[in-house]
Amino acid sequence: MTSMTAIRGARIFDGSTWHDGKALLVEGDRFACIVAPEEVPTDAQNVDYDGQWIVPGFIDLQVNGGGGAQFGDVTSLEAIRTITSAHARFGTTKLLPTLITDTPETTALALEAGRAARAARVPGYLGLHLEGPHLSIARKGAHDPALIRPMEKTDLERLLRFRDGVGVLLTTLAPENVTLEQVKALTDAGVLVSIGHTDTDAETAQAYFAAGATMVTHLFNAMSPLTHREPGLVGAALATPQVFAGLIADGYHVDPIAMGIALRGKVGPAKIFLVTDAMSPIGTDMTGLKLNGRQIFRRDGRLLLADGTLAGADIDMLGCVQKAVRLLGLSVEEALRMASLYPAEAVRLGESHGRIEKGFVADFVALSPSLEHIATWIDGLPTTSR
| Catalytic residue annotation | 277
Q: How far apart are CA 267 and CA 238, in angstroms?
A: 6
Pick the closest to residue 13 from 379, 355, 360 (CA basis).
355
The amino acid that residue 382 corresponds to is P
Pick the closest to residue 299 from 249, 276, 309 (CA basis).
309
CA distances from 336 to 84, 220, 357 (A): 19, 21, 15
Pick the closest to residue 272 from 241, 250, 301 (CA basis).
241
Q: Where are the extended beta strands (E) located within 78-213?
A: 92-100, 127-131, 168-173, 192-195
**DSSP letter (8 states) at residue 125:** B
The answer to whether the Cα torsion of 258, 261, 262, 263 is positive or negative is: positive
